[in-house]
Structure 1
C-alpha cells in the first residue's frame, strides 16, 4: 500500500517523515527503492540534525546514489506538494573524482584538441584512476545500518533498565540509534533499536553472542534478533 507524505518544507511534514523512519531503514521494504528516491528528491536539501531519523536515512540514500544507484520499484509513495521524480534522479550522480577528471580533460582539450598524450598526462590519468579505485574500495568496506529486536524474559522485566543495559555496551565502530517498545502479546513488549556499525570493526553475531546475551545484561535480555541489515 502506497504511503503519502506532505510538504517537506514545513516542520510538520518533516516530523511525520522522522516518525515514520523511526523503525525503518527505507521508505518501503528492506532495500532502497524508487520510493526512497521520490522522498529524497522532494527534500530541497539535507535535513536538519533535529530530525535524527530523516538525517540518517538521507545520508544513506545519498551514499547509495553515489555508489550504485537504485533499481527496485517500491510501492509508489506519494509526496504531495512536490514535483514528481524524474528519470534523471534515478541515475547515479557522478563522483567528485569523475567530475574533476572531466574538468581536467576539458582543460587538456582547450590546450591541444588533437595532440598526442604526453607522459605527464598519462601519469596524471593513472593517478586519477587509482584514486577513484581506492575511494570505491573504501566506500564498499564502510558501514551498515542494523535494525534489531531485543526481547525480555517476561512482562515483569523493567524495559527501561533493559534499554540502559543494551546501550551500556560500547565497542569501537558501534553507534546506538533510536529505539521504541513494541507490544508482543500477553502484556510483554520487545524493544526495537537501530544501530550503525563499521563493518571492519564490529560483527553483529559477536555483539549479540558475547555482549548482549551474557551477564549482567542477560538479567534483562532473553534474546536478540536481526530484523534488517543494510549496507550504508
Structure 2
C-alpha cells in the first residue's frame, strides 16, 4: 500500500500524522512495513512529546531499527514484523512533487486518504479511552517544610502548633514537626506538610490562614524552607 505524506516537518503536517496514528499502531495498520520507514525517514527531528501518537509510533520504529542493527549506509525492509538489512541509498526517499498549494488550503490537505468506517470507529473508541484515562489521572503532590515564627519568647509554642495543625482543608496533610532555637530564648516551629498541588496553594495557606486571626495571635510570620515535588 503506497503512502503519501505532506510536509511532515510542519505543524499542520505533524498534527495530521498524529490524528492518523490515533487509530493505528503503524502507518498501514497493525503491522510494521516499509511505509513506516518511509515516513520515519521523512521526519528531520524527533517529534515533540505533544504529538502523543507520533511519539509512540516513532519510538516503536526507532527500537525496531536498532533491533535490526541498521548502520550507516544500510537500510531496512520489514516483512511480517521481521526485518532484513539490505544495501540502500543513505538518503531517505523523497515524496513525489506535487503542484504548489496555497497555504490557506494546507489544513484541508488529505494526508493519508479517506478513512474507512472501521478506522473511524477505532479512532473514536481510542479518543474516548484517552479522555477517560486523563480524568482518572491523579494530581501531583508536593512535600513542603515551613518555618513558623512566634511573636516573642513568651509565645506559647504548644498553642502555636495547635493553631497550625488546626487548619484543615482538602488536599492538606500535616506531618512531623520540631522546635528550633532562633536566639534570645526564642524558638521557631518547623513543620512538614504534604499537599495536593491542584487543591492547595501554599502562598494562600500562609496569607489567608496562618497569618490572620485567630492563628496570628501566636504566629508572627511563615516562610517556605523547602518545596519538593513528590
Structure with larger Rg:
2
Q: Which has the higher contact order (CA 8 A, sep 6+)?
A: 1
Name the TM tier (shorter chain): 0.3 to 0.5
Query: Could you tell me the TM-score, scaled by structure 2's length?
Result: 0.44
